[in-house]
Amino acid sequence: MGIIEALIMGLVQGLTEFLPVSSSGHLVIAKQLLGGVKQPGILFEIMLHFGTLLAVLVYFRKEIASILCSLLPSSGIEEGKRKSERGFALAVVIGTLPTVAIALLFKDIFEELFNSVKTVSFMLIITGAILYFSDRVKKSGRETVRLRDALLIGTIQGLAIIPGISRSGSTIATGLFGGLKAETAATYSFLLSIPAILGAVILHAGDLTGFDNGNILPYTVGVLAATTSGFLSIKVLMKIVAGRKLRFFAFYCWTVGIGSLIIGL
């Protein structure tokens, strides 16, 4: 694999992983458009996922550190703050449960959908509708993620395995529809992605084959590109969510979805 190819793939992975446009949906469409293009291999795919995971960990390092400190018996954190952070951590754990259950139960069914561009097109149109109407929810909201919020958002994250459904877009929108404050919904969505991405890496780790030392530099470039672009895309999306401008991504999803149907992919 060449350095330029690795750089481009890393940039695309970081941008589409977190922006609400469905990275998996774009991958399906791209494979149809670029039929016959050699795939990068499972190892490189896992490394790119690691890069995007690193982006989340770096961007939300303060929030993660605060949550971890709240779990310690003597961390000097004010009791109210400790209770709030522990509640958030519990919400992430609870939200992960339906995601894991759906992924394990319906993995084979979802994988079949990666062969259907028509399905992806319709799912992108649905994603656009979700994003568009999420902007119409009142701006005030709760900062506490309740049990039912966690279960519902975790379920939606599991269903977002379907190509064409944006994980970040659908989970953030679900939080907004459920009455969460915009920043809280976005932060929870991204922290909930940490175990999901880790799970994806572990799930595919068994498919690894030999490592070619000649690919060390390209792979490193790809990971750094995915981390950097992922960090920037998170930063951009957090501002967009706070400003309630997800509808702009709705128009993009509609354009790609309808366009794919029209040209008969």
pLDDT in tens, 151-202: 999 999 999 989 899 999 999 999 999 999 999 999 999 999 999 888 877 7
Separation of alpha carbons 87 and 265, rounded Å:
46
pLDDT digits 0-9 by tens, 136-149: 887 778 999 999 99
Give the model's pLDDT for residue 49.
86
The gap from C-alpha 22 to its chain's centroid, in whole angstroms, comes to 8
Rounded Cα distance between 133 and 94, Å, is 26
Q: What is the pLDDT of residues 72-127, one digit of tens each?
A: 876 667 878 888 999 999 999 999 999 999 988 998 888 888 878 889 999 999 99
Q: List phi, psi (to 5°) of 232.
A: -65, -40
- Average of pLDDT values for 32-47? 66
Torsion-angle region of 208 (φ positive above 0: left; ψ -120 to 50: alpha; else: beta) = beta
Element (H, E) at 147: helix 147-159
**pTM of the predicted model as reported, rounded to 2 decimal places:** 0.88
Identity of the residue numbered 62: K
How confident is the model over 15-24, as a mean pLDDT? 87
Distance CA 53, CA 17 (A): 10
**CB 168 within 8 Å of CB 131:** no
Q: Token pair 């969505």 is at which residue?
A: 189
CA 66/CA 89 separation, integer angstroms: 10
